[in-house]
């Protein structure tokens, strides 16, 4: 797989498919080119960061941005939307419908937290960003015609968030996976189990995603280096173990607060607090307690 250094601009990893990798959060921005122009996958964490991305698109010199996709609602994938809208005269900004609704709900609160925190210089940029919501939403899948190639935006199910989307570039055997797949070492290789994750559904979502891959597919995660199908299968298996362990503990009557200490986990337990809390919440009521009485 391609080794892409941080902050060095867009690297072409397949026919007219580029990735730029940034040191801040190890986040990726993707670019897909067609006759009609460019589709940007994710827009970075703030207006300041997005202006850097626009500069990199312009120095690449392969065309104008005509479509934008947010793979999910998180700020590091959406907060640059306004910069692309203004620079490129309002291209459609696509997202899953739950990602658009989620950004509207959680974006302003995240900015209030960032405004009161001076531990990282990026936070003031995040707080000052004008949030622009996606303009075009879809519920399961949508194709976009870039002229000489068709790309597909697909919601394979919930996992990292409720509104995860992937972009499939079939003719290049390439998939931008958003944070459903994470290679980055920022969180010690642990997938992003945040406060809004769906740990019990994530394995099935990855099964659908894996069904879109061939042995030669390139998968671009939301954070970290591009990977192959083997990597995604391994991550799916670990995410599946997390879900099965939660199910097993709950069925044996172990309380959520004791779960992390009561089992072996495929990831460091202190990274799984949200996974366990959310997993217990999402289990059907009947599987949480033994039918003793």
| Least distance (Å) between residue 71 CB and Zn ion | 8
The full length of the chain comes to: 293
CA 172, 178, 182, 186 dihedral sign is positive
Find the residue with minimal CB distance to Zn ion.
Answer: 74
Residue 79's region, left for phi above 0, alpha for psi from -120 to 50, else beta, is alpha
CB of 181 to Zn ion, least distance (A): 11
Decide whether 49 or 179 has the Cβ nearer to Zn ion. Answer: 179
To Zn ion, the closest distance from the beta carbon of 288 in angstroms equals: 28
Alpha-carbon distance 86 to 63, whole Å? 16
Q: Which is nearer to Zn ion, 33 or 191 (CB)?
A: 191
Instruction: Tell me whether residue 74 or residue 278 sits nearer to Zn ion (CB atom).
Output: 74
Residues 84/91, Cβ–Cβ less than 8 Å: yes
* Nearest to Zn ion of 179, 183 (CB atom): 179
CB of 289 to Zn ion, least distance (A): 33
Report the distance separating Cα 114 and Cα 51, nearest Å. Answer: 20
Phi first, then psi, for residue 193 (nearest 5°) are: -85, 85
Q: Between residues 100 and 250, which has the closer beta carbon with respect to Zn ion? A: 100
**Cα(238)–Cα(34) distance, integer angstroms:** 36
How near is the Cβ of 222 to Zn ion at its closest, in Å?
6
The footprint of Zn ion (CB under 5 A) covers: 74, 179
Greatest alpha-carbon span in the chain: 70
Task: Between 125 and 179, name the residue whose CB sits nearer to Zn ion.
Answer: 179
> Residue 243 and residue 248: Cα distance in Å, rounded?
9
**CB of 63: closest distance to Zn ion in angstroms?**
28
Q: Are 197 and 159 in contact (CB under 8 A)?
A: yes
């Amino acid at each position: 797989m391609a080794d892409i250094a941080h902050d060095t601009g867009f690297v072409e990893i397949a026919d007219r498919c580029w990735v730029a990798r940034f040191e801040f959060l190890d986040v990726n921005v993707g670019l897909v080119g067609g006759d009609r122009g460019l589709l940007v996958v994710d827009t970075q964490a703030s207006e300041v960061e997005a202006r850097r991305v626009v500069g990199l698109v312009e120095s690449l010199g392969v065309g104008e941005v005509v479509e934008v996709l947010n793979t999910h609602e998180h700020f590091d994938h959406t907060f640059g939307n306004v910069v692309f809208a203004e620079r490129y005269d309002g291209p459609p900004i696509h997202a899953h419908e739950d990602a658009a609704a989620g950004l509207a709900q959680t974006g302003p609160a995240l900015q209030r937290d960032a405004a009161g925190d001076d531990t990282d210089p990026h936070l003031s940029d995040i707080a000052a960003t004008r949030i622009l919501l996606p303009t075009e939403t879809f519920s399961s899948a949508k194709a976009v015609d870039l002229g000489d190639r068709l790309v597909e935006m697909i919601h394979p199910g919930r996992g990292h968030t409720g509104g995860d989307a992937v972009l499939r570039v079939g003719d290049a055997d390439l998939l931008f996976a958003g944070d459903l797949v994470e290679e980055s070492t920022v969180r010690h290789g642990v997938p992003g189990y945040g406060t809004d994750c769906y740990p019990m559904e994530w394995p099935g979502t990855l099964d659908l995603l894996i069904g879109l891959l061939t042995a030669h597919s390139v998968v671009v995660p939301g954070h970290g280096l591009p990977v192959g199908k083997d990597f995604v299968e391994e991550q799916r298996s670990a995410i599946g173990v997390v879900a099965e362990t939660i199910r097993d503990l709950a069925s044996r009557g172990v309380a959520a607060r004791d779960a992390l200490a009561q089992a072996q986990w495929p990831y460091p337990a202190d990274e799984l607090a949200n996974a366990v809390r959310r997993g217990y919440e999402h289990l059907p009521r009947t599987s949480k307690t033994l039918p003793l009485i």
